[in-house]
Amino acid sequence: MPLDNRANLDQFTIVVANKEQQGQHAKAGFEHWKKDMSWEQYEAVYKKERQSEWGRDGKLVTWALVRKHDPSGEIYAGCETYTRKGFVKHKGSNAVEDTHVYAIASVVTPREHMKNGYATRLLSLLHHQLSPSSFPPLSSSNESNDTHTGVHTPPATAASALPLLPTGIGSILWSDVGSAFYAKCSPTSGRKGWVVQDAQNQEIVWKLGNSPSSSSVDLPEGWQWLNLSDLPSVGQTLSKHARKKLENVDTTDRAVFIIDPASKGTLSFVPTKGMWNRPAPEGLDPEPVGVRFTSKVDSTVETIILFSLSMVSIGPRLLITHIHNLSPDDLPTLLVLLDQLGAKTGQKEGWVWDLREEDDASRKLGEAWKAEREVVSVGRRQEIDGHLLGVAWYGPLNADEIREGGELLDGQMWAWC
């Protein structure tokens, strides 16, 4: 017998999915995101992720919303979390601390259960599992309706159902359903869910230049390809720079945090998943995932650019996933190289995120990009299917409660999931 669903959300709780529930989550996801894959192909990727560098050892967890009286049974919504290391500099502090940040993905409701508030309920409960010390402890006996969000604040989940997760300072997700829904998935009154800031969701889509697909891809003198095997050491380099970046940020009026690029599998996530879904480009073996070189402007500065030649879940473009120390003077040479790579994979456009106007170096690079190439789209990414970055902060709120207390500093594509 169907439930009067919205009136009975307190009958549902969150659990870590067992194998059967993972299968239900996978099948629900297949209905939404299968694209050109068969079920067998989709299921293979789903299982492969759990054995990947970013998924094994409990770093990838599948969560399910279930009826309280049937915790091992049917799921009504599901999602995944990726555990990533991070750094935080709290408001008024001079110290950068190690922390964890969670990345949320694959939020889905089985078709037969859609439009009943189940995903909202699941995600509101999820905050409490990712940072339980940030919110008042609750139990079934004191569960109360939250009039701010229209959902119920969560009861404690049975300890036996929970993995041993480190406490997170925040979490992120990438929304394809707009900016409003996930912000409403709040853990408690006085808190928002995942908030989309326009400044963190900027894009440039540009037309790649014409290069014969049969031509070779020649690196400029002094430039080096980066392959998947290079990314762990690259991550260590970028990690040091990320920490240094936080050390130099003024935190008088707010906290700042960032995902650690050295988190296992995070830099390789996008290019690796891209390779899973297509053959390797002819003449590129191993397939490059970036370049590094010494800037022509300053020989003491190393530039690192990471990319994915294509990744169907993000979009049919050449994707720039991470930019480190790219001077506008070096951009024309890079763009010619990207033209050649695009020709090898049949891509017509390139896509880069998070060149922020308020950052002087980022703004100048964006201006140079638009001057060098024909731009298809520039500005805030689109509301639907735009992969909008939403951020939830689990540290202290600002006293005025006008805005959340912590700011994520890097919204580039390398952290997408």
Three-state SS at 344: helix
Q: What is the DSSP string of 7-59?
A: GGGGGEEEEE--HHHHHHHHHHHHHHH-TT--HHHHHHHHHHHTTSTTTTTTT
Residue 172 has pLDDT above 90, yes or no: yes
Fold for the domain defined by 5-198+386-415: Aminopeptidase (3.40.630)
Highest mean pLDDT among 33-42, 70-79, 337-346, 391-400: 70-79
Q: What is the pLDDT of residue 2?
A: 46
Q: What is the pLDDT of residue 51?
A: 94
Residue 151 has pLDDT above 70, yes or no: no
| Percent with pLDDT over 70 in the chain | 89
The residue ranking higher by pLDDT, 384 or 357, is 384
Arithmetic mean of pLDDT over the chain: 89
- Please list the residues that pair with 12 across neighbouring strands: 67
pLDDT (average), residues 268-285: 90
Contact 416, 327 (CB under 8 A): no
5-198+386-415 shares its CATH topology with 202-382: yes
Half-sphere exposure of 311 (CA within 13 A, CB side): 21
pLDDT (average), residues 64-77: 97
pLDDT in tens, 134-149: 776 543 333 433 323 3
Q: How many angstroms separate the CA atoms of 248 and 96, rounded?
A: 10
pLDDT band at 162 (very low <50, low <70, confident <90, very high): low
Q: How many angstroms separate the CA atoms of 292 and 226, rounded?
A: 7
Domain boundaries, the chain: 5-198+386-415, 202-382
Quick one: tokens of 347? 């891509």
pLDDT band at 368 (very low <50, low <70, confident <90, very high): very high
Least confident interval from 150-154, 241-245, 268-272, 351-355: 150-154
Fold for the domain defined by 202-382: Aminopeptidase (3.40.630)
pLDDT (average), residues 308-330: 95
Residue 383 has pLDDT above 70, yes or no: yes
